[in-house]
Amino acid sequence: MSTRVYKGHVGTGAPVTGEALVASDNFSARYDLDLVAGIFSRPTHALHGQSYVGKILILNAAKGGVATAWMLRDMKACGRAPAALILNFANTIMVQGAAFADLALIDRFDVDITTAIKNGEPVAVDPAAGTLTVG
Amino acid sequence: MTMRLTEHEQEMAAGLHGPPRKWAMEMLMKVGTVFDAEDLVEISQVHLMADTEATGEEGVRFVEWIGTHEPSQSMVRVPAVTDPRGADFTGYKRIKQPEKFIELERRADAAFRALGFMMTDTCINYQTINPPVQGEHLAFGDTGSSIYANSVLGARTNFEGGPSALAAALTGRVPRYGFHLDSCRRGSTRFVIDVQPNGLSDWGALGGIIGRQMKSYWEVPVIEGVTSAPTSDEIKHFGAALASFGSTPLFHMIGVTPEAPDLGAVFDGPAPEPRRIGDSDLAQFYKDFGPKDDKLDVVVFAAPQLSLFELESLARLLQGRKVNDKVTLIATTSPEMKSAADRMGLTSMIEGAGGIVLQGVCFYQMHAREIGEANGWRNLLSNSAKLVNILGGYGYQTHLADMAACVDAAVAGRIGA
């Protein structure tokens, strides 16, 4: 199987590998998630009802409020966090939250990352290099 | 890229001023690296969002850890105030908020006080505490307060979520990137409005319509066609909804906001072709949050907290009327405005009609899912476009209407009264 590498901006957090959970929707932890059940809870979200726990979560842009900056660390402490957050466009809140939680995050790729990677593909995330490696 | 640090900043980063300030510097530098900041900028005040639904116990433990250090290492370096908390200690029983949340909220309250935070517990600090001035660098931690400070007052802040606002308070600095820089404050998308909003919910709807079209944090919308200046409360609802739907920290409104006297002042080169917003867009927005039936459980005035003027309007609308027994009516405001409303008889007018006035909280920041379940609230009506946007993920059916229609519905006990 051929390996594909996608280059984004230098991110934050430690390297991680996992299975991709992908949608072209946007993301806010407060607006979109049921943190106790570990699933997407916003009815209009493409991933509604799906578990994000342990997944390489790949979405379009950070949306909504500031709560995610705190939430990612608590989600990680409770064992109910995604393994990494991969976005076309993060905002400051996502980056602050990932930095606080030491969760891997990369954004600003040279392609639309939500169409480049398919649901369920194995992905290696290297924030210091700003790369995603598939396969 | 390596950030340039002053001698004092290098000392903090090296831990010479204690572990909390070392952690804070690491936090600022991690974020600054992702956004290519070249150095740090000193800030004059901090506004920190830290309700316990967001912090969780892990976040509270972290703040408590900072407080275990001696004051020279743990106290804030600039005036630092707080966003709404997760519980009104004087009123939580009225809405059946579980005690387990109250306990954590008390711990958080004590932990922040120990660091020198002033517990203002408000998202309308720009109206009620210490309004920033044009060019002032800030670390504001609520999207609504940030967009108001940036856009309406011309101050400079990124969205500084709780941990980075805490880091800013401990160092007196933030990374210099984003909306601290002239280059990020230029307009990018142009809107012409062909309909004049009428009242708070219309202004919120307009903010929501534009916010939905924002592609990223960095997009700065420019709005033309406003024929008379909105009030502070109207532009507050506009900005709060725009920031909520779009994650947008700055807008320019031609002829209204200070950096936008005309199109030439906000666009480099020719202005882009405008997107137009008319009556049908506004009507469609209300339809998106329209009721499927006339059931009503709770009417909420919040997000942002109500100003004294909004409390006065609500009190007048409720005068001589009674909220239906099947419906709960809640208004949230800051402790300062609650005190003023108490003094001026507005609280007794609202509560005399059967409403509940809560202080220091906002509805969506006080465990909205759990209080909804405890009280059997599902169908929620509000005049806040921001609130109806957020609560969709919390299991509510949310509906938008203006304040008068919300009050009519609360009295009748059904939507569409």
Topology of domain B292-412 in CATH is: Aconitase; domain 3 (3.30.499)
Residue with tokens 């943190």: A35
- The number of folded domains in chain A is 1
CA distance linking residue B212 with residue B231, whole number of Å: 23
- Residue B121 in 3-state DSSP? coil
Residue with tokens 């409390």: B311
CA-nearest residue of chain A to B29? A99
Query: Residues of A with CB below 8 A from B57's CB?
Result: 74, 77
Q: Is the dihedral of CA B98, B390, B144, B333 positive or negative?
A: negative
Residue B417: predicted pLDDT:
63
Confidence of residue B340 (pLDDT cuts 50, 70, 90): very high
Q: In this complex, do A70 and B244 lie within 8 Å of one another by their Cβ atoms?
A: no
Residue B347: predicted pLDDT:
98
The arithmetic mean of pLDDT across residues B372-395, rounded, is 93
Q: B298 pairs with which residues across the strands? A: B328, B380
What percentage of chain A exceeds 90 in pLDDT?
83
What percentage of chain B exceeds 70 in pLDDT?
100
The arithmetic mean of pLDDT across residues B376-392, rounded, is 95
Q: A51 pairs with which residues across the strands? A: A39
Q: In this complex, do A74 and B245 lie within 8 Å of one another by their Cβ atoms?
A: no
Do A17 and A125 meet the contact criterion of CB atoms below 8 Å apart?
A: yes
Candidate from B158, B163, B394 with C-beta closest to A100 = B163
Residue B265: predicted pLDDT:
98
The arithmetic mean of pLDDT across residues B378-391, rounded, is 96
Residue with tokens 């790949």: A58
Q: Which amino acid is at B11?
A: E
Interval B65-85: pLDDT, tens = 999 999 999 999 999 999 999
- Asked if residue B250 has pLDDT above 90, the reply is yes
Do B16 and B26 meet the contact criterion of CB atoms below 8 Å apart?
A: no
Interval B23-50: pLDDT, tens = 999 999 999 999 999 999 999 999 999 9
The arithmetic mean of pLDDT across residues B319-323, rounded, is 98
Residue B395: predicted pLDDT:
86
Query: Residues of A with CB below 8 A from B141's CB?
Result: 66
Q: What DSSP designation does B255 have? A: T
Mutate to test the interface with A, among B27, B34, B66, B143 (most CBs of A within 10 A): B34
Q: What is the mean pLDDT of chain B?
A: 96
The strand pair at A39-40 and B80-82 is best described as unpaired
CB atoms within 10 A of CB B277: 22
Q: Which amino acid is at B350?
A: I
Q: In this complex, do B55 and A74 lie within 8 Å of one another by their Cβ atoms?
A: yes
CA distance linking residue B355 with residue B328, whole number of Å: 7
Q: B332 pairs with which residues across the strands? A: B358
Q: Which residues contact B119 (CB under 8 A, 6 or more apart)?
A: B81, B82, B85, B109, B112, B113, B360
Q: Which domain holds residue A102?
A: 4-134
- Asked if residue A69 has pLDDT above 90, the reply is yes
- Residue A117 in 3-state DSSP? coil
Query: Residues of B with CB below 8 A from A78's CB?
Result: 56, 58
Asked if residue B175 has a cis previous peptide bond (ω within 30° of 0), the answer is no
Interval B281-302: pLDDT, tens = 999 999 999 888 899 999 999 9
Q: Which residues contact B413 (CB under 8 A, 6 or more apart)?
A: B296, B324, B325, B326, B327
The Cα-based distances of B112 to B60, B73, B97 in angstroms read 9, 14, 22
Do B355 and B347 meet the contact criterion of CB atoms below 8 Å apart?
A: no
Candidate from B54, B142, B160 with C-beta closest to A71 = B54
Do A113 and A58 meet the contact criterion of CB atoms below 8 Å apart?
A: yes
Confidence of residue B255 (pLDDT cuts 50, 70, 90): very high
The arithmetic mean of pLDDT across residues A76-88, rounded, is 95
ipTM of the complex: 0.93
CA A125 to chain centre: 10
Q: Which two tokens stand for residue B93?
A: 């029983």
CA B302 to chain centre: 10
Q: Is the dihedral of CA B275, B278, B281, B286 positive or negative?
A: positive
Q: Which two tokens stand for residue B128?
A: 């009620």
Q: Where are the domains of chain B?
A: 7-179, 186-286, 292-412
Q: In CATH terms, are B7-179 and B292-412 the same topology?
A: yes
- Asked if residue B314 has pLDDT above 70, the reply is yes
CA distance linking residue B317 with residue B341, whole number of Å: 15
Confidence of residue B153 (pLDDT cuts 50, 70, 90): very high
The arithmetic mean of pLDDT across residues A78-107, rounded, is 96
Residue B291: predicted pLDDT:
84
CA distance linking residue B244 with residue B236, whole number of Å: 12
Give the number of A-B residue pairs with CB atoms closer than 8 Å.
143
Q: A105 pairs with which residues across the strands? A: A12, A85
Topology of domain B7-179 in CATH is: Aconitase; domain 3 (3.30.499)
CA distance linking residue A5 with residue A131, whole number of Å: 7
Q: In this complex, do B163 and A70 lie within 8 Å of one another by their Cβ atoms?
A: yes
Q: Which of B195, B232, B241 is CA-nearest to residue B385?
A: B241
Q: In this complex, do B389 and A31 lie within 8 Å of one another by their Cβ atoms?
A: yes
Phi-psi region of B192 (alpha: psi -120 to 50; beta: other; left: phi over 0): beta
CATH number, domain with residue A84: 3.50.30.10
Residue A65: predicted pLDDT:
80
Confidence of residue B1 (pLDDT cuts 50, 70, 90): low
Report the range of poorest mean pLDDT among A63-72, B178-187, B263-272, B371-380: A63-72
